[in-house]
């Protein structure tokens, strides 16, 4: 009989690619993880892991077991959800990892929405960039992620996750008020090819959007100033330090001072926002109302 607790360890190792990282995510020691994996190999009668200088990989048998692991763990999440629903369990805490603008635009209003309809559900918010929140959910440190599409993100059909699309919003160009391109109604990114750029650090999903938009316009941006705080990005643009692309919702209500915002000519770079839970857990009577509240808020969200 295969112990499902060991399947969770196998999946963590597959996700993190090293025993040490998987152990940290599971709050175990590396030796405990190694012992559990060895026991799993004994249970299955197969070698499951390969080791190299680049980390840990899965054998063909390991890949087969991992595919079943996704299904088994999702079914266990569904079982827990149905048992909680049977017990009428709509009282408790839901941990949500979300990026800053998503907290302001979706999560905070959703918490207000829940207060009227599900007063016994408490939401605990953790500020996390889009590429940080999904691993937190998969590792069990968060119940929900409010996140964005990014390069290297799990595919929309990933068997580990259940996703709820929320909204999409364009990025606008932010320029110094004296910049000659502010005279037009739109800004062509190709005309900014020789400019200094201000943007998020690599790893931030908005950094990927900026790079892709500039690549499609035919150039690599010269990133001179870096900040993950869009208020700082806009302040630097207003000081004439460079140009930037900023999600439209992040600009709402912001003090622009000497910065000017213009839509991008042609197809605008876009941020796609969604919520995600571990597959099966999206049916839990605590988690489902939070997902529904975020979807309700997103329906009325205007980024125009």
Could you give the residue ranges of the DSSP H alpha helices within the chain?
A: 4-16, 19-26, 30-44, 60-86, 100-102, 108-117, 130-138, 205-216, 230-238, 248-251, 287-299
Predicted confidence (pLDDT) per residue in 205-243, tens digit: 899 899 999 999 999 999 999 999 999 999 999 999 999
Q: State pLDDT tens for residues 115-139.
A: 988 888 999 999 998 778 999 999 8
Residue with tokens 């939401």: 123
Q: Which two tokens stand for residue 175?
A: 């320029």
The DSSP call for residue 187 is: B
Confidence at 162, pLDDT banded by 50, 70, 90: very high
DSSP-assigned states of every residue in 231-299:
HHHHHHHHTTS-BEEEEHHHHTT---TTEEEEPBSSSPPEEEEEEEEETTGGGSTTHHHHHHHHHHHHH
What pLDDT, on a 0 to 100 scale, did the predictor assign at position 233?
A: 96
Average pLDDT score over the chain: 89
What is the number of other CB atoms lying within 10 angstroms of the CB of residue 267? 9
* Domains of the chain, first to last: 4-83 (1.10.10.10), 90-164+272-299 (3.40.190.10), 168-271 (3.40.190.10)
Average pLDDT over residues 144-168: 89
For residue 201, give the DSSP letter.
P
Identify the three-state secondary structure at position 110: helix
Alpha-carbon gap, residue 282 to 174, rounded angstroms: 38
How much is the pTM? Answer: 0.72
CB atoms near residue 212 (< 10 Å)? 12
pLDDT in tens, 65-116: 888 888 888 888 878 777 776 566 677 889 999 998 899 999 999 999 999 8
Can you tell me the distance from the alpha carbon of 91 to that of 88, in angstroms, rounded to the nearest whole number? Answer: 8
- How far is 122 from 144, CA to CA, in rounded Å? 13
């Amino acid at each position: 009989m295969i112990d499902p607790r060991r399947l969770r360890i196998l999946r963590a190792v597959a996700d993190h690619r090293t025993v040490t990282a998987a152990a940290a995510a599971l709050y175990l020691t590396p030796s405990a993880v190694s012992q559990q994996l060895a026991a799993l190999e004994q249970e299955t009668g197969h070698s499951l892991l390969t080791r190299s200088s680049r980390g840990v990989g899965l054998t063909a048998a390991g890949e087969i077991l991992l595919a079943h692991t996704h299904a088994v763990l999702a079914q266990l999440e569904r079982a827990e959800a149905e048992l909680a629903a049977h017990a009428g369990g709509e009282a408790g805490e839901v941990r949500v990892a979300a990026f800053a603008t998503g907290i302001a635009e979706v999560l905070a209003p959703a918490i207000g929405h829940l207060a009227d309809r599900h007063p016994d559900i408490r939401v605990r918010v953790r500020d996390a960039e889009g590429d940080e929140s999904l691993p937190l959910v998969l590792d069990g440190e968060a119940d929900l992620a409010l996140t964005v599409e990014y390069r290297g993100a799990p595919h929309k059909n990933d068997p580990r996750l259940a996703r709820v699309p929320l909204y999409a919003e364009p990025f606008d160009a932010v320029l110094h008020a004296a910049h000659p391109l502010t005279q037009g109604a739109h800004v062509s990114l190709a005309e900014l090819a020789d400019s200094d750029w201000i943007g998020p650090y690599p790893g931030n999903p908005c950094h990927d959007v900026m790079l892709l938009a500039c690549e499609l316009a035919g150039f690599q941006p010269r990133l001179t100033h870096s900040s993950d705080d869009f208020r700082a990005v806009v302040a630097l643009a207003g000081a004439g330090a460079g140009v930037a692309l900023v999600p439209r919702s992040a600009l709402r209500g912001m003090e622009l001072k000497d910065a000017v915002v213009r839509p991008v000519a042609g197809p605008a770079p876009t941020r796609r926002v969604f919520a995600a839970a571990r597959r099966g857990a999206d049916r839990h009577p605590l988690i489902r109302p939070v997902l529904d509240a975020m979807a309700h808020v997103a329906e009325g969200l205007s980024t125009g």
